[in-house]
Amino acid sequence: MVAKVIPVPAFDLVLFGATGDLAQRKIFPALFKRFVAGQMPQGSQIIGAARSNVTSEEFQQTVAKSLKEFLGKNVEKKDEFNQFIECIQYAAVDAFSDKGWDKLKSFVREDTVRAFYLSVAPSIFGEIAARLKKTGIATDESRIVVEKPFGTDLETAETLNAQLRASFEEKQIYRIDHYLGKETVQNLMALRFANALFEPLWNNKHIDHVQITVAEDIGVAGRGGYYDKSGAIRDMVQNHLMQLLCLTAMEPPSQFSSDAVRDEKLKVIRALKPVKEDNIVRGQYRASANDQSYIEHSENPNSRTDSYVAMKVDVANWRWAGTPFYLRTGKKLRERVSEIAVMFKNPPHSIFSDMEYHEGNALIIRLQPDEGITLWTTIKDPGPGGMRLKQVPLDMSFAETLEDETAVADAYERLIMDVIRGDQTLFMRGDEVEAAWAWIDPIILQWENSTARPAQYDAGGSGPEDALMLMHKDGRKWRPIGE
């Protein structure tokens, strides 16, 4: 099957932080894959920018090496490899100095879409944005893309927004949350709004609760110092989990346009009730036979930072009143799993009352691993053994179903192409990010004002016992992680 793609115009993509980890590990490989897919039109350029004083030729060799490292050695044998490398230029610029910006300006062309991707620390977003404007490299049509984290609280997010808006209009700003670039996330919208089947059931009358899980199997070794200032709530809940919650809970937008979708997501955030401390569980992983504990990784013996968090969230509106959303995310859990589980109520009356019949239907939207959707359905257990019921999965794995590598394309591929198309639907709007922080800040503050310690949990497990209790006290249970 040949993938149909919405074409993009020729572009100049200026990648700040081009020598950095994210650029080399994710962004260049994503661009190369789009190039191979024929989606980077002739005449497009990628212009790397960072302080390192290297020539374009030297920088091309750096990218070539990274592509081999992250996409496999055979990548070099592809016909497109050298053609792609030749599309790359490099300008040495420092966010804090005037040097190098003329050279950068000489690379960009009139009548070509200009996008500036800031894969750098947020502390220099403002400087770079201001220089792009001052030098005239940025035009009123240019786009600017910024990486996470977008602030560490409401105040810092407001400052970043003000810095960017001093040089760019909101319609030019693309705040990345790579979760929104996942195939399944967009499929959630297609599933809900392009089918008549689910939407009539998508409410508190039929859905008992929703579980959103983002579990990682790795710890924070090697970056414990950085992580310890952040923690799971800032690092994962404020952005990825809240975005998944919004897409699950939002009302149907009147059209699939960036502002219509983001207006509906914003309404969900504004409908979130404050979360009381007894509906939150924070945890830190213990040492295991072959690895150290969170405390050791963070090199902070007194750390109260959460490497795990679970919380019960209420969306206070007509659709969701009484149907809670349970969110959990953590490091060093059994497996790397991200999913949204929509747990339906049992039928109002069971004619099979004398039989084992406990589980309702569940719609599982898997983001990783193996993106896809599973609908757990109750059927008769086949065979002549009498009328017995059992739950079976109706499974749709995108990789299998669509038989096409674009089905599981990396989120960055999709998001960068959307920037070039000028489509902001899968990017966070400034007011949305601020509303998310306005809801999260009091949750962080109430923890900072307490003296409680995070619950300890075993590495390779499902999280702290207290998190199980969060569900049990409501007569519910978490779906197993990775079983």
The footprint of ligand NAP (CB under 6 A) covers 16-23, 50-52, 93-96, 119-122, 124, 147-149
For CA atoms 63, 69, 72, 74, give the dihedral sign: positive
Minimum CB–partner distance for residue 426 and ligand NAP (Å): 16
Q: 218, 334 in Cβ contact below 8 A?
A: no
Q: In the chain, what are the helix, strand and coil shares in percent, each to the nearest 5?
A: 40, 20, 40
Q: Which is nearer to ligand NAP, 148 or 286 (CB)?
A: 148
* Residue where the block lists tokens 């990010």: 433
Q: Residue 235: what residue type?
A: D
Which one, 160 or 362, has the nearer CB to ligand NAP? Answer: 160
CB of 91 to ligand NAP, least distance (A): 10
Angstrom CA distances, 378 to 207, 213, 339, 348, 363, stand at: 16, 24, 21, 15, 12
Q: What do you get for the CA distance between the two ends of the chain, in Å?
A: 33
Nearer to ligand NAP by C-beta: 151 or 454? 151
> Which of these, 404, 349, 414, 446, lies nearest to 31 by C-alpha position?
414
User: How far apart are the C-alpha atoms of 151 and 123, rounded to whole Å?
Assistant: 9
Q: Where is 70: in which H helix or E strand? A: helix 56-71
* Cα gap 166→162, rounded to integer Å: 6
DSSP, collapsed to helix, strand or coil, labels residue 235 as helix
Residues in the chain: 483
Alpha carbon distance 198, 389 (integer Å) = 23
Q: How far is the CB of 241 from ligand NAP (least distance, A)?
A: 15
* Least distance between ligand NAP and beta carbon 234 (Å): 12
Pairing of strands 88-92, 45-50: parallel
Q: 120 or 327, CB closer to ligand NAP?
A: 120
Closest CB 403 distance from ligand NAP, rounded Å: 30
Does residue 209 carry a catalytic annotation? no
- Among the listed residues 178, 209, 240, 297, the single catalytic one is 240
Least Å from the CB of residue 330 to ligand NAP: 18
Report the DSSP beta bridge partners of residue 118.
16, 146
Q: Hey, how many other C-beta atoms are within 10 angstroms of the C-beta on 9?
A: 13
Residue number, 210 or 409, with CB nearest to ligand NAP: 409
Q: Residue of minimal CB distance from ligand NAP?
A: 20
Distance CA 266, CA 246 (A): 8
Minimum Å gap between C-beta 185 and ligand NAP is 16
Closest to ligand NAP by CB, 18 or 444? 18
Cα 197 from Cα 206, distance rounded (Å): 13
DSSP class per residue in 336-360: -EEEEEEEEPPPSS-TTTTS-----
The set of catalytic residues is 240
